Chains A and B, each alone.
Chain A
Amino acid sequence: MVFTEESLLVLRDVRKSFQTPDGEVLPILDIPEFTVQAGEQVVIVGESGCGKTTLLHVIAGIGRPDEGQVRIDGWDITLLSESESDRFRAENIGYVFQTFNLLPAFTALENVLLGMTFGRGRPDAARARQLVERVGLGHRMHHRPRQMSVGEQQRVSVARALANRPKLILADEPTANIDTGNQQIILDLLREGCREENVALILVTHSPEVAAQFPRLVPLAEINLILSRKT
């Protein structure tokens, strides 16, 4: 492999635009360079609609950039086929959304197991159980999402994001819908979990209190030329 010495995540000259229904081209991202080291914890801030979610999708391989490189652990995922990129995501990236993270038909434990289902290895039931216990839901192992509070659901999704031992976790406003007490618990679980397993974390938030806790804070406007041009 050629890129072994470089950062875990390297974005280079990434451009992404959307087409409005009227056919107008709407540029969202133009990022000359953005890197994240292995195990690093980064918080990204920016006003609503500035392209934070779009950036996470590009990193996860859910939305392809129009041009540029997205290298994770040396692999440029923009060169992978769609199913290769799905596989890559299953094995290397954990994702935590703002709400409705869990599949309603599955129990807490099964939702965590789902995080291990689509990768290469066999689902590790013992690890899944351990993770559910680690987020403090050992007594809720077999509960369905609708039997749990939003905060508890979000703790399960933290466990699920860690399940497959990813290299990188993307968290898109994971505490936005949670009361302040639980916000901190979830944030701590996420950050401690990443630290213990040496997983890099990119977290998007609107909350200054959350942002202030991170060693590295990146306003999207700093790395995204579209936004610096606008201002």
Chain B
Amino acid sequence: MNLWKIAWRSIQHRAVSSALTAFSMALGVALVVAVLVIYQILDRSFKRSSQGYDLIVGPARGGPLELVLSTVYYLQNPRGTIPYEVYEELHSGRYAGEVEAAIPIAIGGFYAGFPVVSTVPELFQTFRYFGDRPYEFERGQNFSANQIWHAVIGATVARRTGLDVGDKFKVTHTTSGQGTHEHTEEFEITGVLKPTGTPFDRVLFSNLRGFWEMHQHEHAVESADTGSAPADATTAGEEHPQEHSVQHPAEHSAEPSESEDAHSVTAVLVKRDWTNSARALELPRRIGQESPELQAVVPSEEVAKMFEGLLGDIQTVLLIFAVMIVITAGIGLMVSIYNSMAERQLEIAIMRALGAKRSTVMLVVLLESILLSLGGGALGVLLGHSLIGAFSGTIFEQTGIRVSALSAQPVELILIPGLIALASIVGYMPALIAYRTDVAKALAHGG
């Protein structure tokens, strides 16, 4: 009989307390596994180019991160506009060789707190989200280019606002410091998108031409209402004296600047053509060099930078918590074995009388601690992964990330040496008691 088996028999003999100890270890380890996988999910959901484009071309004003936050996540207002010609250059002009697809968008206005993004209907045919999935309509259909007052809405918008195919909505603007302002024009909804798990779920997409029309009209009204925001105009002018839209009021930064040449957008979403990967890689730098008023940003890179700075720490904190729970379980293990040592003095003495060395009986107690930790740990890994498996459907719906019960992380391997080290440390004290057992005395008390 080997020492592992002796240790295992001892665990079996104290089945209830062993099971409880192993289970508390399992919970701690399950938490560690969960943290690792959640981090993986966050990491992937932020870093990938989820909506089908890999480059954003927008105004140089504001940093690259601002452009990403406003264009991809709608977390802030765009910091300016670019002429529609930029789109044409990308789509069919001098950059067309490196561009597989380009879609102009103009972000501006809200409905019920959800952002309104004006674009062209091709958006939904051109891009695939999460790599290979087409945008599909739950109800209705895409808007057509020549129906300028048509729009489609994301799944979340439909659910929260109750808007549906055939309904109409008006676009609201939050003007700087002066409350809201509502456009009189109405967009009619022709389709509701299926849930995608991307920020598109929270967007109302209107026809870009309707948007232009709406603001041409507005501009005419505003021109009559002279000098509405002189202060804003000055700051804008100071920051970017070279820009076309100096006289453009800041509160309408997302809107076209001149009535006769009102065709401006806030950004162009670009899917690069990677057949010449060197040129495709070079494209953002080339655009920035050739047109200083523009910047071309790879959203995944910017988000990765932000993510590293922000969530790197969060993962550390979560991991520290999880590891502390594992250590607590380890202390529970120590207490459990320690308490059993008193009643095991005779057993140890008998083994010694059979010729077991001090170091052997010590090792048996250590092995017992290691078996309980590893057993509990294995159960915890199983538990953690089953939880992930159980929630994989939900995770997939919410984020589009495919995780399965089997999606293990290489980091998890660290659990094996980690648990053995922990078990050896917490098992050391009870093992020392076994080591020090006075055989003659223990036999006298037992007999």
Interface residues, chain A, with chain B CB atoms under 8 Å away: 53, 57, 60, 62-63, 82-83, 86-91, 93, 95, 97-106, 110, 113-115, 117-119, 123, 160, 164, 172
**Contact A106–B353 (Cβ < 8 Å):** no
**Contact B357–A87 (Cβ < 8 Å):** yes
Which of B351, B356, B447 is packed against the most chain A CB atoms within 10 Å? Answer: B447
A88, B353: Cα distance in complex, Å: 11
**Contact A118–B354 (Cβ < 8 Å):** yes
Known: A110-B9, A114-B354, A118-B357. A100 touches B440 (CB 8 A): no
**Contact A86–B356 (Cβ < 8 Å):** yes
Known: A62-B440, A118-B360. A105 touches B355 (CB 8 A): no
**Contact B355–A91 (Cβ < 8 Å):** yes
Residue of A nearest to B11 (CB): A105
Render B1-37 as a binary contact track against A, CB cut-off 8 A, 1 for contact.
1100010011011000000000000000000000000
Specify which chain A residues have a CB less than 8 angstroms from the CB of B347 in the assembled complex: 103-105
B358 within 8 A of A: yes
Looking at the assembled complex, report how far the CB atom of A71 sits from the nearest CB atom of chain B, in whole angstroms. Answer: 18
**15 further A-B pairs in the complex, CB-CB below 8 A; given A57-B440, A172-B447:** A62-B443, A83-B357, A83-B358, A86-B358, A89-B354, A90-B354, A93-B355, A95-B353, A100-B350, A100-B446, A103-B350, A105-B12, A105-B347, A117-B2, A118-B351
Residue of A nearest to B446 (CB): A100
**Contact A90–B440 (Cβ < 8 Å):** no
**Contact B10–A97 (Cβ < 8 Å):** no
Residue of B nearest to A83 (CB): B357
A87, B10: Cα distance in complex, Å: 23
**Contact B9–A106 (Cβ < 8 Å):** yes
11 contacts between A and B (CB under 8 A): A62-B352, A63-B440, A89-B354, A90-B354, A97-B350, A97-B447, A105-B9, A105-B13, A117-B2, A117-B6, A119-B355
B439 within 8 A of A: yes
**Contact A62–B353 (Cβ < 8 Å):** yes
A84, B286: Cα distance in complex, Å: 80
A114, B443: Cα distance in complex, Å: 17
Specify which chain B residues have a CB less than 8 angstroms from the CB of A110 in the assembled complex: 1, 9
B406 within 8 A of A: no
B103 within 8 A of A: no
**Contact A117–B350 (Cβ < 8 Å):** no
Determine which of A100, A117, A160 lies in contact with B447 in the assembled complex, contact meaning CB atoms within 8 Å.
Answer: A100
Determine which of A57, A60, A63, A114 lies in contact with B351 in the assembled complex, contact meaning CB atoms within 8 Å.
Answer: A114
**Contact A87–B440 (Cβ < 8 Å):** no
**Contact B346–A100 (Cβ < 8 Å):** yes
Specify which chain A residues have a CB less than 8 angstroms from the CB of B1 in the assembled complex: 110, 113-114, 117, 123
Render B347-373 as a binary contact track against A, CB cut-off 8 A, 1 for contact.
100111111111110000000000000
Residue of A nearest to B360 (CB): A118
A162, B1: Cα distance in complex, Å: 17
Which of A62, A83, A93 is packed against the most chain B CB atoms within 10 Å? Answer: A62
Specify which chain B residues have a CB less than 8 angstroms from the CB of A100 in the assembled complex: 346, 350, 446-447
B444 within 8 A of A: yes
Specify which chain A residues have a CB less than 8 angstroms from the CB of B356 in the assembled complex: 86, 90, 117-118
Determine which of B13, B353, B360, B444 lies in contact with A53 in the assembled complex, contact meaning CB atoms within 8 Å.
Answer: B444
Specify which chain B residues have a CB less than 8 angstroms from the CB of A53 in the assembled complex: 444
